[in-house]
A and B are shown apart, each in its own frame.
Chain A
């Protein structure tokens, strides 16, 4: 197991190098660079452009260097913890992202907890009462949730909140608390604003989760060892939790890999619709304005989290399932 973890960690390095190359290439693909976009904006607003300043900016940001040099500069700094400088915000990337990071994590965690709390009981109920009215009803609502686009749901809920309750649910806190230090009132305001985004973002995830728990558990319930457990007199609930449910959790653990990056990037489109101060809209804006270091470092950060997440779920699976732990390395 220890050796396995070591080799897996070593395998992460080439994966990340490859990912960084892809990310860098994609960011550089659109013609032009941030300075050109900046000039374009200045010209559009009728201001004159000082060519000397343009050249100075280019040199300052290293944009006059060849591509491979820029890549090495970026990735070298990234490894040492310097994520670069955002052109647009005129601040280091770590500051720009850091401000929004905690709110993003808060929204994501609330969403994940809500998803689990709703999906698990419903999924288990649906599987153990297959083809009952309860199963059909819950499946119907689940599919409805799955089929409704998040941003549409966000718009609808904003409309009803406005017309019926007369409150604006945009943002993650009331406007007066933005950039204020944390206080009890600010905390309350955040909690209030958290409800709608959590429900909106969580709906489709919950529905998908219910379907998967139901399908996986149904497969396991057919298995002989469940009958064995019943036949030796294990009480029904315990026979469900100890054997088939535990077995059907493999998919759930395998999912943790994709969960980590999702926590950080959040639901971008919903965040824009509801004007949440999370990292999602930031990333999209950075990509649009070719804010190279902000976008690149952010994407690289996500890639790293994905790789770590997958490693974590693989290790967990190894601990949870002896079949994975014990059969590794057999050759044919």
Chain B
């Protein structure tokens, strides 16, 4: 009954959108330009000195089409979108040029660049005719107001409806919209707070808010960068279907060329505030002209590149190995391929408590890490992939004992000795910390803003009482050279560095104690494509030169494919498949691995994503795998085991399944 009602509501919404669809039907005959930017200059006031961030940019956004704006961070693409919307930060100012806006072909064009941000015409356009979605679904919604209130506000501001923001008329529209963007239970979602929703659902709520007034232009500023690949495919599919239904133009800002290849009609490539190249999607991908664009295309790791091909970073870095470290920090580098770390049946359960009405709480157990076993050999790079929430980071935290495991062992092998890291005392652990170090995902929050680089690099040495003050300083300088930075940076604070440089400082800090094993938690996912290649290449070189062993976590399959020797795929706390790199990508067996490989967008027009499969899939519901990969009864969990297909390839399946059964299915 409820379902039927939801269905009829959706039909009504679609009928209500027919007006918008008509416009797009007209527009496809001869698309006019909804936005035409003409020789635009924008500068930022830096304490008296003007910094030009957009320098003479001209391009157009045709009605109903998608234009992708591509460039690395600092290229001025975000500020350009803010200028179109009229939400420039206070320090930025349009110096000259025009932004012509025309909703319908016959309208008189309006120059947005000449209007003040707070001019009534401008305020009416924002949210009404043009809207924006941001990269961070976690922070772009107010945590204090319900989803329904925030979306309803956007509707109430631009439409003359009776009642307040949460009045009946507005409420009905909001619930319809939540249904349209794929909320499984829109009525319940209406009165939820953002913190109760997953990242993917928050981004859907954001999209609902942006589209509730059926704008003519949607600016999507890195809409999927913060999401993992499966969620990215779902959100992109949603955007594409909504665009067709509402007939709006989309300005897609991204640095992911794979996304561009799948979404854009036209592409504009920006570098340092200027347009390097612009054209249709075909022209850009089939026949790139500008060297910058060519370099950008080469800097992105891709699933179709050769296994031993080296990424060409836009700006290579020179680093030097200090004499004290040369020859490898790892004492046992001559025992190549020896077992270093052995993880056996590691498990961790979280108890999530939820308030239930006025009285009491319900406690649900969440198996964050469920019976995970793998081994890491000396000198190799072991990759762990999976979507967010699959337990990869929890596994990592268990390894370094940042969390306490419920059961399982982590054996550290050295020579003939092996130690269980899970059961040693805190004093013994202190010694092991030197051998096992961590690099974090976010280069901005993982370095203290109040410490100089010198203090950041010196801290691990002080903790472990290594050397006197003078030696530590000298060593810190060597560490900086090791990651390709100059020792003159020692006195500076982290805020004066770019994301890539900060991540290199983070790597230097992790190497300060000369560890044997480096645990890297999504070390490049917060970085720009151009810098990503740089850091990946640096990590590869350091691994070879210092004889390091890596455990590398990422949700980006292409990155893992580039750097890892063996890869484990995690899904909902369990390791479902583990194989050597080539085997995993050429011969995936588990249905989840196959699905994961399918959702990676390629920067290649001949391998488009299959959006239809994801359109209404929110990724929230339970997923079931066919017979040999999942027990028919959920309580039969213990009958699942890792079936060995080849010496280096194992898959989670029902006990007793033969390799032949698996490869057939």
Residues on A facing B (Cβ under 8 Å): 1-3, 223-225, 227-236, 242-243, 246-247, 320-323, 325-332
Contact = CB atoms under 8 A, between A and B. Distances in A.
Given A234-B157, A326-B193, A332-B403, A228 B141 contact: yes
B350 A247 contact: no
B140 A228 contact: yes
Contacts of A235: 123
A225 to B, nearest CB: 4
The 8 closest A-B pairs by CB, nearest first: A232-B127, A233-B127, A233-B126, A232-B154, A224-B139, A329-B353, A224-B140, A322-B193
Contact of A331 (B132, B134, B145, B351): B351
22 contacts: A2-B358, A2-B359, A3-B358, A227-B87, A228-B134, A228-B142, A228-B206, A231-B87, A233-B125, A233-B126, A233-B127, A233-B158, A234-B153, A234-B157, A243-B145, A322-B144, A323-B144, A323-B193, A326-B195, A326-B355, A329-B353, A332-B350
A179 B124 CA distance: 64
Nearest to A246: B144
A280 B106 CA distance: 76
B352 interface: yes
Contacts of A232: 126-127, 131, 153-154, 157, 209-210
A182 to B, nearest CB: 44
Contact of B132 (A2, A231, A321, A332): A231
B85 interface: yes
Nearest to A227: B87
Residue from A225, A231, A243 with most neighbouring chain B CB atoms (10 Å): A231
A233 B86 CA distance: 10
Interface in B339-370: 350-353, 355, 358-361
B134 A227 contact: yes
Contacts of B118: 236
B265 interface: no
Interface string B124-138: 111110011010100
A230 B144 contact: no
A130 to B, nearest CB: 9
B144 A233 contact: no
A3 B360 contact: yes
A23 to B, nearest CB: 36
Interface residues of B, number: 40
Contacts of B123: 233, 235
Contacts of B124: 233
A231 B126 contact: yes
Main secondary structure of the interface of B (DSSP, over half): mixed
Contacts of B144: 243, 246-247, 320-323
Contact of A225 (B127, B139, B196, B360): B139
A224 B157 CA distance: 20
Contacts of A3: 358-360
B353 A231 contact: no
B389 interface: no
A229 B139 CA distance: 12
Given A229-B142, A323-B144, 14 more contacts: A224-B134, A224-B136, A225-B140, A228-B134, A228-B142, A228-B206, A233-B124, A234-B127, A243-B144, A247-B143, A320-B144, A322-B143, A323-B195, A331-B353
A53 B131 CA distance: 88
A126 to B, nearest CB: 14
Contacts of B358: 1-3
A302 B124 CA distance: 54
A323 B195 CA distance: 7
Contacts of B139: 223-225
Contacts of A332: 350, 403
Nearest to A247: B144
Contacts of A323: 143-144, 193, 195
B158 A327 contact: no
A228 B140 CA distance: 6
A326 B196 contact: yes
Given A232-B131, A233-B127, A330 B353 contact: yes
A235 B168 CA distance: 23
Given A233-B127, A326-B195, A332-B403, A225 B141 contact: yes
Contacts of B195: 322-323, 326-327
A248 B25 CA distance: 47
B116 to A, nearest CB: 11
Nearest to B351: A331
Nearest to B146: A322
Contacts of A224: 134, 136, 139-140
Given A223-B139, A224-B139, A322-B143, A231 B85 contact: yes
A230 B210 CA distance: 12
Contacts of B87: 227, 230-231
Contacts of B132: 228, 231
Contact of A325 (B136, B157, B351, B355): B355
A320 B193 CA distance: 13
B131 A329 contact: no
A318 to B, nearest CB: 11
Given A247-B142, A321-B144, A332-B403, A233 B154 contact: yes
A230 B209 CA distance: 13
A268 to B, nearest CB: 37
